[in-house]
Amino acid sequence: MYSLIAVLIVIACILLVLVVLVQSSKGGGLVSNFSASSQIMGVRKTADFLEKATWTLATALLLLSLLASIAVPRQRDEAARSRIEDQVDNAIDPDRLTNFPTTVPEQPGSQEDNFNE
């Protein structure tokens, strides 16, 4: 299923690129070649078709991308688990750690006595 969606995404991308390259924002491109008003598909109809094709292909690309993210094959085997999941499962509870002293114990003949002499 995922392979079929991936192929459809590639086809939609190629068609979208071709349709966008045919258009021109300045009124040129394919639309400017059909300047005769006696043709069946005149300038306005060509521009409308290309715009509708662009929007349709962009929407199809968006929907196919969403479908592909849903259809991605996932492995849920114990061997395929990530390192982060393993670290979370094997983490040590901080409350169970031993408490180390945070202050330095005073020793006889500390440095203060040495400075007074």
Considering its fold, how many domains does the chain have in total?
1
pTM over 0.75: no
In this structure, which amino acid lies at residue 83? R
Q: Looking at the predicted structure, is the pLDDT value of residue 51 above 70?
A: yes
Question: Residue 73: its pLDDT value, please?
Answer: 77
Do the domain assignments include residue 112?
no
Do the domain assignments include residue 27?
yes
In this structure, which amino acid lies at residue 14? I
pLDDT, tens digit, for every residue of 8-43? 999 999 999 999 888 866 655 555 555 554 445 555
Domain coverage including residue 42: 2-71
Mean pLDDT of the chain: 75
Question: Residue 38: its pLDDT value, please?
Answer: 46
Do the domain assignments include residue 101?
no
CA distance 8 to 16: 12
CA distance 29 to 47: 10
Q: What is the mean pLDDT of residues 87-100?
A: 72
Do the domain assignments include residue 8?
yes
